[in-house]
Amino acid sequence: MAVLLDELGARSTEVSARPRAPPVAGRRVREMSARTGDVDAVVVGAGVAGLVCAQDLVAAGLRVRVLEASDRVGGRMRTDVRDGFRFDRGFQVVNTSYPQMKRRMDLRGLRLRPFSPGVLLCTPHGRLRFADPTRTPKLAADLRPGRLGSLRDLAGLAMLTGRDLLTPPRLIKRAEDRTTRTALADAAIGEALVETLFRPFLSGVFLEDELETSSRFFHLVWRSMLRGTLCLPADGVAEVPEQLAATLPEGTVSLGTPVEQLTDEGVLTAYGRETAAPAVVVAAGPAAAAALLPGLDVPPVRSVTTYYHAAPETPLDEPTLLVDTARRVLNTVVVSEVSPVYAPRGRALVSTSVLGADHGPGKEAEVRAVLAELYGTDTGGWEPVAEYPVAEALPAMTPPWPLSRGTRHAPGRYVCGDHRATGSVQGAMASGARAARELLADRRS
């Protein structure tokens, strides 16, 4: 893979936005600094936005260096392998309908493992399955009036779904932006269906449970779910950035290389090395980007914690997402049913996410008690095997949310990432591609 462990060979495992670096006094560091080989562009951050940007710049013939603070590529898309388990750093999925995924990834190479269509809603009266009846008619029995919602609600749902399926994204992007709650009310979807389906399910997508996220983003998400399939790469989400990084020329990415500041000539790393480049793209996540680019406007963020439990046997022999309509947890899934590689033979791995990233030690037991109810089994013997609080998981996309923002910050200085587009793999990749396009256009002019 085209990655170097560089500088101090640092092996940080932090996922926080701002990498920990030794204290630096600007002038002293400058005096000590050694200049590394000049390049046409430096990309700060090897999340999917930075990697896509680098990929397009390299394809255009530029000499590019990607400087990454942590010990691996991927940013928020990372998978830890421990004791025979695979733990994605926060539960996430990829969707086969994301245009950027289709355009640049070798989907076959990712060995995508699909979830079963739809979701299982765990209600106080038992489980209800919500699935698209046009794709899987036999899974859609619960869409009969009186189960998931009234005839009127279901008619509203059908209208909304048909419209989102057929409306091109460019029109969705131009539509008036409101909260998702308002958009659902305007689509004549009643409170009961909102509370049983939309609010609990979308809480896990937006990482907020008031439906205050941009309706434009909601319509794009709904459309992508209708058109694509939710999947996990067989070996974990990290396969996506790993595959992108592997397309870059050997030596392009330097790991363990936190950038401390942008200089007139390029960038200065926390270890006192300067890399000169006429163009710098900051692809570092919102808080870190704001620290490197004073004056940059970044949105607040949403946080989440994912708990992993090992069970002696699978509590549900289906690769499907369970959604708690009481919203005590966002969602839960037996990930080893999606891809058996996630757990060692004879164990099952259950991934459960809850809102927020600052829970006390009692939270895990609380979550396990909820899981007993949702899976209808005794979870007393389940072993808590990992816990991932992710403070900066997604940008808060409150309306009006533009869906795609320009990446030019100052002459020769660009910024990209999901916070400049949408909080998704698609959004991050599209923003990285946009930064490359704008940088190349500026070079030509």
DSSP of 211-279: --SBHHHHHHHHHHHHHS-EEEETT-TTHHHHHHHHTSPTT-EEES--EEEE-SSEEEETTSEEEE-SE
Neighbours of 152 (CB within 10 A): 13
Is there binding between residue 75 and ligand FAD (CB under 6 A)?
A: yes
> Would you state the structure tokens that stand for residue 424, as one six-digit string?
């998704």
- Interface with ligand FAD, residue 67, by CB under 6 A: yes
By CB under 6 A, residue 76 contacts ligand FAD: yes
154 binds ligand FAD, rule: CB under 6 A: no
State the chain's maximal CA–CA distance in angstroms: 74
* β partners of residue 333: 351
Q: Does 424 bind ligand FAD (CB under 6 A)?
A: yes
Q: What is the DSSP string of 353-380?
A: EEE-S---TTHHHHHHHHHHHHHTS--T
Q: Which is nearer to ligand FAD, 54 or 122 (CB)?
A: 54
**Region 259-278 residues binding ligand FAD, contact defined as CB under 6 A:** 259
Q: Which one of residues 425, 430, 433, 440 is an interface residue with ligand FAD (CB under 6 A)? A: 425
Does position 243 interact with ligand FAD (CB under 6 A)? The reply is no
Residues of span 87-146 touching ligand FAD by CB under 6 A? 90, 92-93
Q: Between 374 and 429, name the residue whose CB sits nearer to ligand FAD.
A: 429
- What minimum distance in Å lies between the beta carbon of 47 and ligand FAD? 2
Q: Is residue 256 a contact residue for ligand FAD (CB under 6 A)?
A: no
123-127 long-range contacts (CB < 8 A, ≥24 apart) are 123/196, 123/325, 124/325, 124/326, 127/322
Residue numbers 348-407 binding ligand FAD by CB under 6 A = 390, 393-394
68 binds ligand FAD (CB under 6 A): yes
Reported in sequence order, the residue ranges of 99-145 that DSSP labels E, i.e. its strands, are 112-114, 119-123, 126-130
CB of 189 or CB of 290, closer to ligand FAD: 290
Identified binder of ligand FAD from the candidate list 29, 284, 323, 334, rule CB under 6 A:
284
* CA of residue 427 relative to chain centroid, distance: 9
State yes or no: residue 49 binds ligand FAD (CB under 6 A): yes
Q: Is the CB of 74 or the CB of 156 nearer to ligand FAD? A: 74
**How many residues interact with ligand FAD (rule CB under 6 A)?**
36
Q: What phi and psi, each to the nearest 5 degrees, are found at residue 394? A: -140, 155
- Which lies closer to ligand FAD via its Cβ, residue 156 or residue 423? 423
The only residue of 47, 149, 200, 319 in contact with ligand FAD, by rule CB under 6 A = 47
DSSP string, 137-201: GGG-GGGSTTTSS-HHHHHHHHHHHHHHHHS-HHHHHHSPP-BHHHHHHHTT--HHHIIIIIHHH
Task: State the Cα–Cα distance between residues 377 and 430, nearest whole angstrom.
Answer: 42
- Residue from 70, 252, 325, 331 in contact with ligand FAD (CB under 6 A): 70
Kindly report the number of other CB atoms within 10 A of residue 88's CB atom. 24
Task: Sketch the per residue contact string, 161 through 200, with ligand FAD: x for CB under 6 A, - otherwise.
Answer: ----------------------------------------
Which residues form the interface with ligand FAD (CB under 6 A)? Answer: 19, 44-50, 67-70, 75-77, 90, 92-93, 258-259, 283-285, 288, 304, 390, 393-394, 417-418, 423-428
